[in-house]
Chains A and B, each alone.
Chain A
Amino acid sequence: MNAPVSTATLEVASTAQTPARGSAAKPMIRVSGVTKRFGDHEVLQGISFDVQEGEVVVLIGPSGSGKSTLLRCINFLEEFQSGEIHVDGEPVGYADGIRKRQSEADIARLRTKAGMVFQNYNLFPHKTAIENIMMGPVLVNGENKSQARAHALELLAKVGLKEKADHYPSQLSGGQQQRVAIARALAMRPKVMLFDEVTSALDPELVEEVLKALRDLSKEGMTMIIVTHEMQFACDVADRLLFFYEGSIVEDGPPKEVFANPKTERFRAFVKRYQSGSQS
């Protein structure tokens, strides 16, 4: 079993971490040699890394360094020019070996394996909280409504919003909306969860409730990739920290190690800039 390693303390992460969970096993996410261009600008310059089952990987880096783009590639919300991405052993977007786009049905099915949570929540404004959560299970998985409803209520309880089930997004605070969005992604029983700057749009006092939901998930052993600017949170929750700079990964390791012995001056500079602001 994959015991969730990080229990929200820096000390745990500090025990030098050669993959605690079966390194022989197939990685849950494999990104190999991914490049992505927007016009002339190469946003991802050959990104490669594996994420093991139950691992929590946090991506940090300056804006425009490619973190969010990579996350969107894993869910194939962005096409990429070369390289391969596998989630749970299956190729994403393009069939294995050939650069031919998969059928829409295959792409849609694959997306259910990776739950995505966005910076601006992106809830469906014409659906209540619980309808937002039930939509995927009912329409995509063909679950019957009462079953989907029961599961949705469970998930709402889990993110502490059971009493808000019948509220529309516009009646919820940003933090509440984001927690509904997390529940909506979880409703598809994904293998991995992708979080794209999920606290960046929130008022400071609402950040913690969302981070708590993420911590709870990590404790349950969910495989997660988190893009964030919350340094302290990154250190707390990450099994592994990846530092992106101009489309490449320039630091990779357990947060404690990366912070103790950064390989690059860029990382030092980056941390210095954030230390003043986001750490209390």
Chain B
Amino acid sequence: MDIATQNLGYLLKAALVTLQMAVATVVFSFLVGTALGVVAALGGSLARRLLMAYVFVVRGVPVLVLIFIAFFGLPRLGIEAPNYVAATIALVIYFAAFVTDIVRGSILAVPRTTVEAGKAIGLRRGQILLHIQLPLGIRLALPPLVTTASIAVKSTSYAAIVGVWELTYASREVVERTLAAFEIFFAVMLIYFCICYPISLFASYLQRRSTFA
């Protein structure tokens, strides 16, 4: 384990890049996905169909391929983005689709009768969304969203393929230098876990807080 501790500083520095990408991916994909999910649940039929197409396409494409497309495609569009930006954009596009589907399903799972009760006291569509459908929907969406967030964090490791210097990339560097594959990857595993674990903790905190007797 000495080799791991000797290289820990280097790995943690790379973990910081992973953490940044992870936060960006989760925050943006959740914001975008929630907005799109609302439209997918309640919007016009054209918007709904387009979003469903988006979800279907993304479901059928490996995240790695999306990262390649972003990495090689953005320069073609005349956008000079650093590799970690390209990778993060791909991750956001990928995970926003899952969030869209989760949020859509959760909003539609709120009973119609509860929505009608809101209408009956004179609430407007936006108020029903804000005060009834979203708060009730989020409770349903929470468990799948947590799973999605953890997968998103771990998927940042794919960015290593396009040369982003993050935890997985750095760990391979160290392994090549030290030839201590087991020790290093074991340490890396623990670091990934330490990044993901707070998400689960936060989620169970939210869940405890949001249960109504």
Contact = CB atoms under 8 A, between A and B. Distances in A.
Given A118-B113, A139-B131, A104 B121 contact: no
Contacts of B122: 108-109, 111-112, 136, 140, 188
Nearest to B136: A126
Interface in B109-125: 111, 113-114, 116-125
Given A139-B131, A168-B213, A170-B213, A108 B124 contact: yes
Interface in B156-195: none
B139 interface: yes
A136 B122 CA distance: 7
A111 B121 contact: yes
B119 A111 contact: yes
B127 A139 contact: yes
B135 interface: yes
Nearest to A122: B117
Contacts of B123: 108, 135-136, 139-140
A136 B124 CA distance: 10
A124 B117 contact: yes
Contact of A116 (B114, B120, B132, B136): B120
Contacts of A226: none
A195 to B, nearest CB: 12
Contacts of B213: 167-168, 170-171
Contacts of A104: 124-125
A271 interface: no
Nearest to B210: A126
A140 B123 CA distance: 6
Interface string B93-106: 00000000000000
A199 interface: no
B212 interface: yes
A75 B123 CA distance: 13
Interface residues of A, number: 30
Interface in B121-157: 121-125, 127, 131-132, 135-136, 139
Interface centre among B131, B139, B212 (most CB of A within 10 A): B212
Given A104-B124, A108-B124, A170-B212, A124 B119 contact: no
Given A122-B114, A171-B213, A185 B135 contact: no
A105 interface: yes
A77 interface: yes
Nearest to A172: B213
A184 interface: yes
B121 A125 contact: no
A45 interface: no
Contact of A118 (B117, B135, B212): B117
Interface of B: 111, 113-114, 116-125, 127, 131-132, 135-136, 139, 210, 212-213
Interface of A: 75, 77, 104-105, 108-109, 111-112, 115-116, 118, 120, 122-126, 135-136, 139-140, 167-168, 170-171, 181, 184-185, 187-188
27 contacts: A75-B119, A75-B120, A77-B116, A108-B119, A108-B123, A109-B122, A111-B119, A111-B121, A112-B122, A116-B117, A118-B120, A124-B136, A125-B136, A125-B212, A126-B139, A135-B131, A136-B121, A136-B123, A139-B127, A140-B123, A140-B127, A170-B212, A181-B117, A184-B121, A185-B121, A188-B121, A188-B122
Closest 5 A/B residue pairs (Cβ): A136-B121, A112-B122, A122-B117, A116-B120, A140-B122
